[in-house]
Amino acid sequence: MGMLRIWLALAVAIGHTTSIFGFSWQPPLLGGRAVQMFYVISGFLITLILSGKYSADARGRWIFYTNRALKIFVPYFAVLAGTIVLSLIAYAVTGNAASLAAFFVEAHNMSVGTWSYALVSNLFLFGQDWGSFLTYQNGTLSWN
């Protein structure tokens, strides 16, 4: 099961980096299929851990979900902080904010709702999937 998860994760990662690094090789199951299979297998394994390792009472669920939150948010916030710091350093040195360039360019155009969505979805990871259904035009977000 572990090797299948690794293979699927690599398929997803390679699919996302082919346009960045110019690779022409693409493993089978790229795109949505690899992502969907990875989610199904990961969901199965997480459910197996929840039902086998933790007690079924409220305390057991609390421990499980706090552990999951720590495993997700600690690395995410570390990478987010590093991205912000490196982008600000790049901006100070070169005038180009690298990963934050789009925010710097469009910050004055964004509506309060757009800023709220960007901040909440990037800080708490909730609502990021909605971005695939949204279009950004003239500082506002609309359904596409």
Q: Where are the alpha helices (DSSP H) in the chain?
A: 2-21, 32-53, 58-94, 101-106, 112-124
Same domain, 91 and 113: no
29 and 77 fall within a common domain: no
- Looking at residue 27, its pLDDT comes to 56
pLDDT, greater one: 121 or 39: 121
In this predicted structure, which of 23-32, 104-113, 121-130 has the lowest mean pLDDT? 23-32
Q: Are residues 19 and 65 in the same domain?
A: no
CB burial readout 96-133, b (16+ within 10 A) else e: ebeebeeeeeeeeebeeebeebbeeeeeeeeeeeeeee
Whether residue 64 sits in one domain with residue 20:
no
| Number of structural domains the chain divides into | 3
Residues 69, 48, single domain; the answer is no
Same domain for 142 and 123:
yes
Domain that holds residue 42: 1-53
Is pLDDT of 37 > 90?
no
Specify whether 15 is located in the same domain as 61: no
Q: Does one domain contain both 3 and 49? A: yes
Q: pTM of this prediction?
A: 0.65
Instruction: State mean pLDDT over 32-60.
Output: 84
Please compute Rg for the chain using Cα positions: 19
